[in-house]
Chain A
């Protein structure tokens, strides 16, 4: 039903990541209105309490804002989105480096490999 969720992470957290991803990759644009809590809950196949929590946490992160009687909107503050983009990049790289370190690869080896990939795929 709806989205497939990973087993080892709270569902609300996975939904927050999904919306942040949609904002960063441009599926949701600056200032765009989000679906209502209920609509999004039906689409994702989750309980509306869970979706309510997702919207509340996004608002606390100042990535969205709620306008009374109108719903939730992606922030129009582009600096906030740029900061989010940077945080996310740092976070992904950190996780990636931790996982390759666990296999014994050195940072230099990996940087070299990433450069090759970057050149061959351009």
Chain B
């Protein structure tokens, strides 16, 4: 559904993406892992059409990705940029006015499921509740693709659990594709179909979770650690 071919993204002289070729199928939940600075956030921004590429090509259903595919795709940044005086309800109404695919009823269901008070002001919410609101307004869009940059980062275990359950409950993996970057591999693994490992702006491995467990007999965390120790011992990289 999304095809990247030899994508290079330079920031000055530095190559944040250095020759990424990748095929993303419809209806999969994909984890994007790798050290800080390996290119995960840049890749998500390129997929979202928020960052232009230096060379190569990125296509979605055969046409080049630009800012206009934002209509099919919901991007959740790793920072929060909410107007502090909005209440949760006002924020949802604002999103509803901005995105044609935003479903206000679903947003309210999500907020209830995640136990977020509708009338609380954003500035008065805890970090955990801001994390819950952020995922709620993202998933309330009926997008084809969700791009989530570090949805679990810096949140306590209860919030992480709620967000994971919200993701399972409110997305339809037959129709929707989810790509999320994360460092919490052990926790996130049961949510994933596939995992992509990045290093130095390149994809060094791309496997299905079942294959890792079947073929290597280990979980994704041990598999990833072994990749970083002895990259030449891994199975041929399948991208």
Residues of A participating in the B interface, judged by any CB pair closer than 8 Å: 1-3, 5, 7-12, 38, 41-42, 44-50
A-B contact pairs, 9 of them (CB 8 A): A7-B213, A8-B217, A8-B219, A10-B209, A11-B213, A38-B168, A42-B165, A45-B164, A49-B28
Stretch of B12-20, B93-101, B185-193, B230-238 at the chain-chain interface:
B185-193
Q: How far is the CB of B94 from chain A (nearest CB, A)?
A: 28
**In the bound complex, do residue B218 and residue A46 qualify as a contact, i.e. CB atoms below 8 Å apart?**
no
Q: Are B222 and A11 in contact (CB under 8 A)?
A: no
A51 to chain B, nearest CB (A): 9
Residues of A within 8 A of B174 (CB): 49
Report the minimal beta-carbon distance from A56 to chain B, rounded to whole angstroms: 13
Q: Check A45 against B169 for contact (C-beta < 8 Å).
A: no
Contact residues of A: prevailing secondary structure: loop
A7 contacts across to B, CB distance below 8 A: 213, 218-219, 221-222
Q: Is B210 an interface residue (CB 8 A)?
A: yes
Please report the total number of B residues contacting A with Cβ < 8 Å.
28
Flag if A47 contacts B218 (CB, 8 Å). Answer: no
Whether a CB of chain A sits under 8 angstroms from the CB of B29 is yes
Question: Contact: A50 with B190, CB < 8 Å?
Answer: yes
Q: With the chains together, A48 CA to B178 CA distance in Å?
A: 12
Distance to closest chain A CB from B170 (angstroms) = 10
Please state if B213 and A1 are interface contacts (CB–CB under 8 Å): no
Give chain A nearest CB distance to B196 CB in angstroms: 16
Across-interface contacts of A11 in B (CB, < 8 A): 189-190, 209-210, 213
Which residues of chain A have C-beta atoms less than 8 A from B27's C-beta? 49
Q: Is the CB of A41 within 8 A of B213?
A: no
Asked if residues B218 and A1 are in contact (CB atoms below 8 Å), the reply is: no
Closest CB in chain A relative to B172 CB, distance in Å: 8
**CB-nearest residue of chain B to A48:** B173
At the interface, yes or no: B214 with Cβ under 8 Å from chain A? yes
Query: A7-B218, A42-B165 are contacts. A2–B213 as well, Cβ < 8 Å?
Result: no
Q: Using a CB-CB cutoff of 8 Å, which residues 195-239 of chain B contact chain A?
A: 209-210, 213-214, 217-219, 221-222
Whole-angstrom distance between the Cβ of A10 and the nearest chain B Cβ: 5
Mask of B24-45 contacts with A, CB within 8 angstroms, 1/0: 0001110000000000000000
CB pair A1 B173 closer than 8 Å: no
A1 close to B169 (CB less than 8 A): no
Q: Does B161 count as interface, using CB distance less than 8 angstroms?
A: yes
Please provide the chain B residues from 157 to 190 with a CB less than 8 Å away from any CB of chain A in the complex: 160-161, 164-165, 168-169, 171-174, 187, 189-190
- Which 5 pairs show the lowest CB-CB distances between chains A and B? A7-B219, A46-B190, A10-B213, A49-B173, A10-B210
Check A1–B190 contact: CB distance below 8 A.
Answer: yes
Bound complex: CA A48 to CA B174 (Å): 9
